[in-house]
Amino acid sequence: MALGFGKRSSTSNEKDDDKVSSENEKGTGFGGDYNGFAVDSEAQTNPQGGRKMSRIDRPHTASIAGHLSGRKPSVEEAAGEVTIGEMRAAEASNAIQYRTCSWQKTAFLLFAEYICLAIMSFPWSYSILGLVPGLILTLVQAGFVLYTSLITWEFCLRHPEVKDVCDVGQMLFWGWRPAWWLTGIMFVLNNTFIQGFHCLVGAKYLNTISNNNSGVCTVVFSAIVAIIAFFASLPRTFEALSKLALLSALFTFVSVILATIFAGIEDHPGGPSVDTYWPFKGTDLTPLIIPAAGTTYVNGMNAFLNISYTFIGQITLPSFIAEMKEPRDFPKALWAVTIAEVILFSLVGGIIYGFTGSTYTVAPAFGSLGNALYIKVSFSFMIPTLIFLGVLYASVTSRFVFFRLFAGTRHIGSHTVVGWLGWAGILACTWVLAFIIAEVIPFFSDLLSLMSSLFDSFFGWIFWGVAYMRMRQADYGPGFWKKRGFRGYIGFVVNIFIICVGFYFLSAGTYTSVDAILEGYRTGGFGGAFSCQSNGLILPWQVKAAHGGQV
């Protein structure tokens, strides 16, 4: 499919420039401009010197505000000319208002999404890749996700009617309706599998805290987590969820810091009092600086993908931005969470790996601790995250479905019985489906890796490389990279590289995930569907460690 896209007419440009001037005077938002971008002599400029940001296409969906109270989108909304200020005004009289999130509350949501259980898999990744390559890849991946997230943000500024990544998918690929459906299917599957993952991890925690000996079936534990998460998902705006998000992020921070401290202060193999309960795996805990000789491509790739998928979360960003009072402030939240990610991921991964070495490091790293009490204490602070992160993805999915099912009705913006029953019903369907998928598929964790390879390659890489190309072509026309000098060539090369990385993730990531599934079948490493077998982290030797070597 060609990249060709027509230039706007001069009449359209003049009309937009007039509107920009009006909006700048009113201070109500933007109509395709953002004064924070650097001035470019080649670009169109508004009266205050900011760079003009052209739409890449007409809108294919109406804004949330355009659906409120049952009214149809206005002519301006249909043309993509409505401002954020006008969107807020359109929903001002409604009982349920969506554009209410400050950048601080959006930051809470981002912290809850990124500061999560996945941090505890970094020590394992470093044990495969070696400490130096692992830390370098952590920094590089954080930089690319920050850059592509800023591209996502710029796209949403140009197209304020965008409600989620599915709207972005259709618009990026020339208004092709199947692109919306394909993006929607990937979007729902990705989120539902993450919900299912948290059902299983919640069961893992409950089995861990009971020393794998509670007498309760793991399936029952998973169901309990799903039910609790359903009720926690009921708030209908991200502003309402932001308080839970802050709590989740804070408890996760405490959890991983405690695990890091415990890894340093506990007895280690070879110590004077630990021979009775540490398994005989050797006493060398020296971390590897570079990968060990003989490390396979599949193992190395899995470790790298683990780091990458922890950072990738752009799938939710359009949904968050769509509910911000002032989307121009989104980079404040993004920079805050990125800096915190790099520091926390690197320190927790490096320190825990440094104390446990390649011999005893597992994922999640709570299981690397030699003392059951330490495992239980640090893992327990992860409870809010085990619930909330699934809640966050359930809420994002339910918004996607809810806004389509009830488009043009008063149920979106009012407290109606039908609206609340519809919202609760959609949430219930997502959690029931997540629970069933998690329990039916015996290789669920490996399948989750496969889904990440298939979907994050698009949502984390390919989409945003294409978005950059489309936006710059809308600004400068064909051959845009030649018209911006050195910066144009650099941007073009970087984003071609981003697209290529996305296809590498799609191919190499899928290969390694499928290979892991096949290996699981070869070794008989998979359990059965709806298995009652415990999946806790506590092992007998760790129980002994908690009791001074006595059972």
Higher pLDDT among residues 276 and 204, named by residue: 204
How many of the other CB atoms lie within 10 Å of CB of 119? 26
How far is CA 445 from each of CA 194, 196, 362, 466, 549, rounded to the nearest angstrom?
Answer: 10, 10, 15, 30, 33
Residue 425 within a domain = yes
Closest CA to 196 of 521, 518, 441, 509: 441
Segment 97-101 shows an average pLDDT of 85
The answer to whether 241 and 235 have CB atoms below 8 angstroms apart is yes
Q: Which residues pair with 324 in a beta bridge?
A: 101
What's the rounded mean pLDDT across residues 274-302?
78
pLDDT at res. 53: 73
Angle ∠(518,121,536) on CA atoms, nearest 5: 75
When computed from its CA atoms, the radius of gyration of the chain, rounded to whole angstroms, is: 25
SS3 246: helix
Task: List pLDDT tens digits, range 25-36.
Answer: 333 333 444 444
Residue 45 clears pLDDT 60, i.e. is over it: no
Please check whether residue 404 lies inside any domain of the structure.
yes
Q: Is residue 339 part of a domain?
A: yes
Q: Note whether 408 and 63 are within 8 A (CB).
A: no
In a domain, 87, yes or no: no
Helix axes 122-129, 297-311, angle to 10 degrees: 140
What is the overall mean pLDDT for the chain? Answer: 83
The pLDDT, as a whole number, for residue 51 is 53
Contact 138, 350 (CB under 8 A): no
Residue type, position 477, single letter: G
pLDDT value of residue 359:
82
Whether 66 maps to a domain, the answer reads no
Residue positions counted in the chain: 551
Does the pLDDT value for residue 108 go beyond 90?
A: yes
HEC assignment per residue over 386-447:
HHHHHHHHHHHHHHHHHHHHCCCCCCCCCCCHHHHHHHHHHHHHHHHHHHHHHHHCCCHHHH
Concatenated DSSP letters of 450-517: HHHHHHHHIIIIIHHHHHHHHHHHHHH-TTGGGSSTHHHHHHHHHHHHHHHHHHHIIIIIHHHHHHHH
Cβ contacts of residue 98 below 8 Å, gap of 6+? 64, 65, 91, 237, 322, 323
Output the six-digit token pair for 138: 């952590």
Number of separate domains in the chain? 1
- For a pLDDT cut of 70, what percent of the chain falls above it? 81
Q: Please determine, for residue 156, whether its predicted confidence score (pLDDT) is greater than 80.
A: yes
What's the rounded Cα separation, in Å, for the pair 262 and 542?
A: 13
The verdict on residue 4 lying in a domain is no
65 assigned to some structural domain = no
Residue 290 has what pLDDT?
93
Residue 7 lies in a domain: no
Of the candidate ranges 124-128, 154-158, 440-444, 539-543, the one whose mean pLDDT is the lowest: 539-543
* Range name among 211-225, 263-277, 391-405, 467-481 with the lowest pLDDT average: 263-277
Residue 43's pLDDT band, with cuts at 50, 70 and 90, is very low
Each residue's pLDDT tens digit, 385-444:
999 999 999 999 999 999 989 987 888 888 999 999 999 999 999 999 999 998 888 777
Instruction: Name the least confident of 5-9, 56-60, 87-91.
Output: 5-9
Contacts of 332 (CB under 8 A, 6+ apart): 103, 107
Q: Which range marks the domain in which residue 271 is found?
A: 108-545
Q: Which one, of 137, 118, 123, lies nearest residue 287 by Cα? A: 123
Residue 537: the pLDDT is: 81
For CA atoms 283, 279, 442, 352, the dihedral sign is negative
Question: For position 162, which CATH number holds?
Answer: 1.20.1740
